[in-house]
Amino acid sequence: QMSQQLGTFRSHLEAFASKHKQEIRKSPAFRLQFQDMCATIGVDPLASGKGFWAEMLGVGDFYYELGVQIIEVCLALRHRNGGLITLEELQQQVLKGRGKFAQDVSQDDLLRAIKKLKVLGSGFGIIPVGGTFLVQSVPAELNMDHTVVLQLAEKKGFVTVSEIQASLKWETERAKQVLEHLLKEGMAWLDSQAPAEPQFWLPALFSELHGHD
């Protein structure tokens, strides 16, 4: 009986998709609600390139195309941010590249597309920082220590060894190792002329830079 009900619900969902095809493709909010409905019955409209969902909605194409645009933006900015970019900046850059007549793209759309990009290898990942996310587009090994330091740097855009020691109660060597790794990977910039002690800036979190682009 349960599978019968699910079958009925699935056919209703397909009918709904047919009826609201344009809204699903055009509206990010509508698309999110539709994705949630699909998740409720265990249907992933992105899982298959063939079949009803791809043909009816073209959602597969939408996310694959978005994935390519995400890769392009990340590659173009990698020299500056070392392969780390905030979800907000990624959204701005993707929308800028799509032009004003393209479908709107929400942060939820970006996160879904990035999750699909993970099949390409370990390069793409999502790091929660504050109330947002950092998108990592290089296969650098970042452990919990690195993530915690990124979260600490989020408010000001930079962090120092003594700030890490004070906030996290770490030994000096542990703080230095994490910062040296971020520096080596190109994810941090070193300001050795800062007044008190060297500052390690995270260009992905440095909002002033974005304003000058």
User: Domain extents for the chain?
Assistant: 1-137, 140-205
Rounded distance between C-alpha atoms, residue 9 and residue 7, angstroms: 5
- 181 falls in which pLDDT band (50, 70, 90)? very high
Compute the average pLDDT of residues 134-159: 88
Compute the average pLDDT of residues 14-26: 78
Share of the chain above pLDDT 90, in %: 31
Beta bridge partners of 189: 201
- 140-205 CATH: 1.10.10.10
With a cut of 60, say whether residue 50 has pLDDT above it.
Answer: no
Q: Where are the alpha helices (DSSP H) in 20-160?
A: 21-26, 28-40, 52-57, 59-81, 87-98, 107-117, 144-153
- 212 falls in which pLDDT band (50, 70, 90)? very low
Alpha-carbon radius of gyration of the chain = 21
With a cut of 60, say whether residue 48 has pLDDT above it.
Answer: no
Query: Which amino acid is located at 22 in the chain?
Result: Q
Give pLDDT, residue 16.
Answer: 80
Give pLDDT, residue 85.
Answer: 93
Instruction: Classify residue 142 by its DSSP letter.
Output: -
CA distances in angstroms from 4 to 9, 10, 35, 42, 137, listed in the order given: 9, 10, 22, 15, 43
Give pLDDT, residue 208.
Answer: 47
With a cut of 60, say whether residue 89 has pLDDT above it.
Answer: yes
Give pLDDT, residue 146.
Answer: 92
Contact in structure between 94 and 41 (CB atoms under 8 Å): no
- 51 falls in which pLDDT band (50, 70, 90)? low
Same fold, 1-137 and 140-205: yes
Torsion of CA 78, 189, 127, 63, to 10 degrees: -10
Whole-structure pTM value? 0.68
Give pLDDT, residue 213.
Answer: 46
CB atoms within 10 A of CB 189: 18
With a cut of 90, say whether residue 149 has pLDDT above it.
Answer: yes
Q: Which of 96, 63, 93, 48 is nearest to 75 (CA)?
A: 93
Query: Which amino acid is located at 179 in the chain?
Result: L
Share of the chain above pLDDT 70, in %: 84
With a cut of 90, say whether residue 130 has pLDDT above it.
Answer: no
What are 162-180's pLDDT values in tens digits?
999 999 999 999 999 999 9
- 1-137 CATH: 1.10.10.10
Sign for the CA dihedral angle at 98, 99, 101, 105 comes to: positive
